[in-house]
Structure 1
Amino acid sequence: MNRRKFLKGSSVLAGLFTLSPSVILSNDLGAINKKGKKAKNIIFLISDGMSTGTLQMANLYSQNILGKNGNWMNLYKENKVSRALMDTASASSAVTDSAAASSSFGGGHRVKNGVLNIGPNGEKYLPIWQKFKNAGKKAGCVTTVTITHATPAGFCVNSDSRNAENEIAEMYANLGLDVMMGGGDEFFNPSKRADKKDVYKIYEQKGYQVLKQKSDLENIKKGEKTLGVFNSGALPYTIDRNNIEALQQTPTLAEMSAAAIDQMKDHKNGFVLMIEGGKVDWAAHANDIAALIHDQLAFDEAVKTAIDFAEKDKETLVIITTDHGNANPGLIYGADATKNFNSIADYKYTNEYILNAIHADFNLQQVKDWIKETNKISLTDDEAKHLLNFYSGLEKQEDGLYNYKKLPFKAYSEIQKKHNNVGWISMDHSGDYVELAMFGPGSELLKPFVQNIDLHYLMLQASIEKED
């Protein structure tokens, strides 16, 4: 190593760390007036609700079934990234929800579960995408859930409730965010809103192009502000989208990510973009291994999209992580563990799709035939009867987040476990330390162990102009 260059670089870093808190925490990045930006752009990727077992099993599936290592794991294998563990707690609990977790990244303060960048006494912490907008950068978010959901909202707005999605849809327009893509038609469409307000029209009056299906991405007007709402509710799970023709008009996370980068990459002051694999979390809540693996793999393709751009651009910091664990799934020891795990390749659809197709008037053979067709699992009569009892009212209906139709997710995952060796500790968030990786300028600032709030200040620090 060139000793002179090393010492020069060390002095630069030392200078950064001596900046006063008032400068680091400034809402106006222009107040830090030095030369030579470390990172012109930032791409922040979040696989929502990704426990370590999710990452491991998706990579194992990729190796065993697809014949290749995952993109995230290749970054580790090729030693291309800085890597850390991250503590994900909120202000109110060791186990965070997505609103508080995203607020830690967005506002730089731990807040109570359920709120977005609002402190205990009503303090409003300016979200980081607003800080970067104030500094002249373009800003955007893409997600596989509603664009107004907790994770994208935590980077952008202040709200007393993560559930205020009608209001959040309007807030984005008022902030002038440059690219917002995901689901959530019900929060923009006047025919679906209780107040009948046409929020799409608000965006159009502010100069936004509105995209509503995958084909619209092919005709996107370069450089214009863009709102893409591709579904009512969240976007479909990846495995269902891949196998059900009617769902294929919705774009993938990687396709939305590529379009968002292309829309903002030529801006002279750079851009910031949050990319969320939101349905990974929903799959974990449902203990649905096929949904989980395929949405994690879809997220991994978005990782490749970001890294490919950053490797060419050389001015982009890429952050890859999750906001919290969920359900701690894992492959369980057994003589046939690998063979059983590989049988997941036979699963055609999500458990949501499979279980939603069963009705109380099914007989045992119909249940057995349907499970055989969709999962290649041969149920016993007792297992088929156990499932059918949830539909006839003989078993208590399951609750659970995002289980709107009270489907027997837990009961079915226990049946699947006998065949695929995948177990789950719960159907809810967990307090894991989680994986965190960074690539590009500013990644050298990452310490081996951080709190979620540290990423807020690292992003600011990575983009600070500094003297050579």
Structure 2
Amino acid sequence: MNRRRFLKGSSALAGLFTLGPSVILANDVETISKKAKKAKNIIFLISDGMSCGTLQMADLYSQHILGKNTEWINLYKENKVSRALMDTASASSPVTDSAAASSSFGSGHRVKNGVLNIGLNGEKYLPIWQKFKNAGKKTGCVTTVTITHATPAGFCVNSDSRNAENEIAEMYAELGFDVMMGGGDEFFNPSKRKDKKDIYKIYEKKGYQVLKEKSDLENIKKGGKTLGIFANGALPYTIDQNNIPELQKTPTLAQMSAAAIDQMKDHKNGFVLLIEGGKVDWAAHANDIAALIHDQLAFDEAVKTAIDFAEKDKETLVIITTDHGNANPGLIYGANAKENFDSIADYKYTNEYILNSIHADFNLQQIKDWVKETNKISLTDDEAKHLKDFYSGLEKQEDGLYNYKKLPFKAYSEIQKKHNNVGWISMDHSGDYVELAMYGPGSELLKPFVQNKDLHYLMLQASIEKES
């Protein structure tokens, strides 16, 4: 595929070099085009809602408990990647939501929070995975939340609302993306949709193989279009999946990522793949340190999967970042900070699982015994009573994104902080600059400070092949 074919395949690329922000270019375009090898493939990894403290604590946990650095930090230590800070603002706020953040990558424009690739005056920007599909590449998305959620949708579709997940499920089928894997059975299953549409049947009629369990990945038809929906709602948190047998039918992010790469890697024109660790964001919203660390480590396994492929392939640009910070967790100074932090290794489950298992009829001793069993934390009577009051109606129920059952996440994280030295500034997104790393052909285009929307143009510039 030559450059003329690429430009013909997507009219939205016309004027790319004049429209694209110059901040992302290390040299002038002509010089780069002559000297730089182009990326045949792009793997874009997003740890959704990852503050810098999340990256640091996952690495610290990995060092202390697992005896090794994380893959992401090793890439820094071994000087294998280009590295930058990224400004994550949206058009409507210095603090973005995932829809606007993903749309900045998807469209090359900042849009207001809540929408997908729709401009401030109603413009519909052609999403980047459609551009690459029009140019002849295979396209895919893998996530630990619903496949129709804001981050994958921002690479793929236009919508006035990130919440239009029923419609987004249908849009994917119409657009014909090659590999889509995650959760969200309720948006495909006719027994769960209000309109009773069988979206699975639509995909099957278009030639997709539909996967429902981890074991299905072992029998996947090589190279065919694939829809993998492995859960109702989001996939389980990693720490729960590791410790609750009935959740182990669900694949990990790394397993889905490896399968997606394998499905697309032999395509003559290459592929583009989004990999999202979406539950990192949900854990941060819940101020749940065990969920946060273990899902960040699961994301890191997917990073390793991508880098291992790219090192062998030598034609793949790997982008590793987040879309925004969330809750800014961090390890707090104290005499026993190391020992307290390392005690997180004793946590068996997410706070969601622990708190869901407490009921209004529990007495104080039952609450204390349950917390001791699951976190090895010895509650005082006052702490146990404080928790009990949320279930008996004496304390106001907590709100919060993804806190569907109004569980006392904040109250419990404050109790845990006394024992693990981990603090949180909030239960919501933050506007901090975030980490960005790139490996492979095209990574030389990265400058030390970029805006999120710049990555759209960098991907296009990195992957345009030389004139034949």
| TM interval, short-chain normalised | over 0.9
Question: What are the Cα deviations for residues 37-76 of structure 1, in whole angstroms up to 9, with x where unaligned?
Answer: 6000000000000000000000000000000010000000
Q: Is the 8 A contact 1:25 1:457 kept in 2?
A: no
Deviation at 1:435, TM superposition (A): 0.1
**Compared CA separation, residues 26 and 157, structure 1 to 2 (3 A):** farther
Residue 319 of structure 1 is matched in structure 2 by: 319
Structure-2-length-normalised TM-score: 0.93
Residue 92 of structure 1 is matched in structure 2 by: 92
Deviation at 1:460, TM superposition (A): 0.2
Question: What are the Cα deviations for residues 201-221 of structure 1, in whole angstroms up to 9, with x where unaligned?
Answer: 000000000000000000000
Residue 75 of structure 1 is matched in structure 2 by: 75
Map 1:274-353; keep pairs closer than 5 Å: 274-353=274-353
Q: Is the 8 A contact 2:147 2:183 kept in 1?
A: yes
Residue 136 of structure 1 is matched in structure 2 by: 136
Of 12, 22, 28, 2:15 maps to 22
Q: Is the 8 A contact 1:238 1:294 kept in 2?
A: yes
Q: Distance in 2 between matches of 1:432 and 1:358?
A: 35
Question: What are the Cα deviations for residues 389-438 of structure 1, in whole angstroms up to 9, with x where unaligned?
Answer: 00000000000000000000000000000000000000000001000000
SS at the partner of 1:193? Answer: coil
Map 1:189-338; keep pairs closer than 5 Å: 189-338=189-338
Q: Is the 8 A contact 2:37 2:442 kept in 1?
A: no
Q: Does 1:356 align with 2:356?
A: yes
Q: Is the 8 A contact 2:37 2:441 kept in 1?
A: no
Q: Distance in 1 between matches of 2:207 and 2:17?
A: 33
Residue 178 of structure 1 is matched in structure 2 by: 178
Deviation at 1:25, TM superposition (A): 7.6
Deviation at 1:21, TM superposition (A): 7.1
Residue 445 of structure 2 is matched in structure 1 by: 445
Q: Is the 8 A contact 1:85 1:434 kept in 2?
A: yes
Residue 373 of structure 2 is matched in structure 1 by: 373
Q: Distance in 1 between matches of 2:456 and 2:386?
A: 48
SS at the partner of 1:139? Answer: strand
Deviation at 1:467, TM superposition (A): 5.5
Q: Distance in 2 between matches of 1:116 and 1:266?
A: 31
Q: Is the 8 A contact 1:24 1:460 kept in 2?
A: no
Q: Distance in 2 between matches of 1:238 and 1:25?
A: 44
Q: Which residue identity does 2:269 align to in structure 1? A: N
Q: Distance in 2 between matches of 1:179 and 1:104?
A: 22
SS at the partner of 1:410? Answer: helix
Deviation at 1:465, TM superposition (A): 1.9
Q: Is the 8 A contact 1:62 1:69 kept in 2?
A: yes
Q: Is the 8 A contact 1:52 1:328 kept in 2?
A: yes
Question: What are the Cα deviations for residues 306-346 of structure 1, in whole angstroms up to 9, with x where unaligned?
Answer: 00000000000000000000000000000100000000000
Residue 4 of structure 1 is matched in structure 2 by: none
Q: Is the 8 A contact 2:118 2:159 kept in 1?
A: yes
Q: Is the 8 A contact 1:37 1:464 kept in 2?
A: no
Residue 4 of structure 2 is matched in structure 1 by: none
Q: Distance in 2 between matches of 1:264 and 1:54?
A: 31
SS at the partner of 1:311? Answer: helix
Q: Is the 8 A contact 1:43 1:319 kept in 2?
A: yes
SS at the partner of 1:394? Answer: coil
Q: Is the 8 A contact 1:51 1:324 kept in 2?
A: yes
Q: Distance in 1 between matches of 2:14 and 2:84?
A: 24
Q: Distance in 1 between matches of 2:14 and 2:378?
A: 62
Residue 106 of structure 1 is matched in structure 2 by: 106
Residue 386 of structure 1 is matched in structure 2 by: 386
Q: Distance in 2 between matches of 1:282 and 1:301?
A: 19
Residue 426 of structure 1 is matched in structure 2 by: 426
Q: Is the 8 A contact 2:116 2:162 kept in 1?
A: yes
Q: Is the 8 A contact 2:54 2:292 kept in 1?
A: yes
Aligned length: 444
Deviation at 1:121, TM superposition (A): 1.2
**Compared CA separation, residues 25 and 144, structure 1 to 2 (3 A):** farther
- RMSD value, Cα: 1.5
Q: Distance in 2 between matches of 1:183 and 1:350?
A: 19
Q: Does 1:48 align with 2:41?
A: no
Q: Distance in 1 between matches of 2:464 and 2:120?
A: 30
SS at the partner of 2:15? Answer: helix
Q: Is the 8 A contact 1:88 1:432 kept in 2?
A: yes
**Compared CA separation, residues 54 and 396, structure 1 to 2 (3 A):** same
Residue 167 of structure 2 is matched in structure 1 by: 167
Structure-1-length-normalised TM-score: 0.93
Deviation at 1:23, TM superposition (A): 3.7
SS at the partner of 2:145? Answer: strand
Deviation at 1:26, TM superposition (A): 9.1
Question: What are the Cα deviations for residues 180-223 of structure 1, in whole angstroms up to 9, with x where unaligned?
Answer: 00000000000000000000000000000000000000000000
Residue 152 of structure 2 is matched in structure 1 by: 152
Q: Distance in 1 between matches of 2:354 and 2:467?
A: 59
Question: What are the Cα deviations for residues 132-160 of structure 1, in whole angstroms up to 9, with x where unaligned?
Answer: 00000000000000000000000000000
Map 1:27-42; keep pairs closer than 5 Å: 38-42=38-42
**Compared CA separation, residues 254 and 106, structure 1 to 2 (3 A):** same
Q: Distance in 1 between matches of 2:365 and 2:58?
A: 33
Give identity over the alignment, percent.
89
**Compared CA separation, residues 144 and 174, structure 1 to 2 (3 A):** same
Q: Which residue identity does 1:365 align to in structure 2? A: Q
SS at the partner of 1:168? Answer: helix
Deviation at 1:466, TM superposition (A): 2.7
Q: Is the 8 A contact 1:86 1:434 kept in 2?
A: yes
Map 1:406-425; keep pairs closer than 5 Å: 406-425=406-425
Q: Distance in 2 between matches of 1:223 and 1:246?
A: 30
Q: Distance in 2 between matches of 1:169 and 1:460?
A: 26
